[in-house]
């Protein structure tokens, strides 16, 4: 397996979806709790990254097995069939990544407490059943919620907990604050999945995958896509007003110069190979600018 094929198998280009929520968690930890446990968050980052790669391998693996014979998805679209990869090699690689990341997480929980085990277990269950089982989460009208909530909110929550576990309080004000600062990433990640499902509507239906787009229709789904982008910026404004983020975070509004035209372009045309990249750019630019201006406030 070449490096290029491996990177496509683990969908390396999509790793922005996990890295930037992690960085927002780092920023909030320092801004609100004034503490960073560098060793813990480095171990967590590695474990998170390995598991994220394993989930994407599992997604490709299950898509390959679940594909019907209605069209040539197996042979020409899925990376496993297209590159004629060994199923045994792919399976062993996936299991290896899951085991290593799980052991790292269990080791961390020994030092920071059992809440990490509970949060980690939730993330692992969502990651595994997102594309596994008789009715995978990704094939239901729940995929956008679970992907956005788990990657956008839970990654940030775990990061904050690791940095502040000695003083962390499990109450609604604490969780609501972390949810709000993670909400832009949560919505943009959900939108990435929504855009994917909009582009793949016909192919998904042929493979008996009935996502939320199947029930809403493309037109209404595009309205949701636009609405989630608007809500992301409202969340940024609210977090500053409530003093959960420094004033410099308002600079994230500059990303609108990229997000708006990309949103407009996607609404005009929904073709996977041509315009799905719009949702990727919205997530990457929106989240990156958000993190950068949040971090700038910490230095100033």
- Per-residue pLDDT tens digits for 264-283: 999 999 988 889 999 999 99
pLDDT at 168 over 90: yes
Sign of CA dihedral 212, 217, 218, 223: negative
pLDDT at 32 over 60: yes
How far, in Å, CA of 100 to CA of 119, rounded?
A: 17
How far, in Å, CA of 117 to CA of 2, rounded?
A: 35
Q: How many CB atoms lie within 10 A of CB 189?
A: 30
pLDDT at 204 over 70: yes
- pLDDT 10s digits, 55-64: 888 888 877 7
CA end-to-end span of the chain, whole Å?
47
How far, in Å, CA of 137 to CA of 150, rounded?
A: 12
């Amino acid at each position: 397996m070449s490096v290029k094929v491996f990177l496509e198998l683990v969908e390396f280009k999509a790793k922005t979806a996990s890295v930037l929520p992690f960085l927002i968690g780092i920023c909030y930890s320092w801004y609100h709790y004034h503490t960073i446990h560098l060793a813990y968050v480095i171990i967590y980052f590695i474990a998170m990254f390995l598991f994220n790669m394993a989930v994407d391998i599992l997604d490709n693996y299950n898509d390959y097995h679940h594909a019907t014979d209605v069209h040539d998805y197996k042979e020409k679209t899925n990376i496993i069939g297209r590159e004629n990869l060994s199923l045994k090699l792919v399976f062993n690689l996936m299991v290896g990544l899951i085991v290593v990341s799980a052991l790292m997480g269990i080791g961390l929980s020994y030092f920071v407490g059992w809440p990490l085990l509970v949060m980690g277990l939730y993330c692992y269950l969502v990651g595994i059943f997102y594309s596994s089982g008789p009715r995978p989460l990704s094939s239901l009208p729940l995929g956008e919620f679970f992907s956005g909530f788990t990657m956008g909110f839970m990654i940030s929550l775990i990061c904050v907990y690791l940095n502040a576990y000695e003083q962390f309080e499990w109450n609604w004000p604490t969780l609501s604050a972390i949810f709000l600062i993670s909400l832009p990433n949560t919505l943009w990640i959900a939108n990435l999945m929504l855009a994917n499902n909009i582009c793949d509507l016909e192919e998904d239906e042929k493979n008996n995958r009935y996502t939320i787009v199947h029930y809403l229709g493309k037109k209404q789904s595009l309205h949701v896509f636009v609405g989630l982008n608007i809500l992301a910026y409202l969340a940024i404004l609210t977090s500053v007003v409530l003093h959960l983020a420094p004033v410099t975070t308002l600079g994230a509004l500059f990303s609108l110069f990229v997000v708006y035209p990309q949103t407009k372009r996607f609404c005009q045309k929904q073709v996977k190979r041509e315009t799905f990249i719009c949702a990727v750019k919205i997530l990457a630019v929106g989240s990156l600018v958000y993190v950068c201006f949040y971090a700038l406030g910490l230095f100033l």
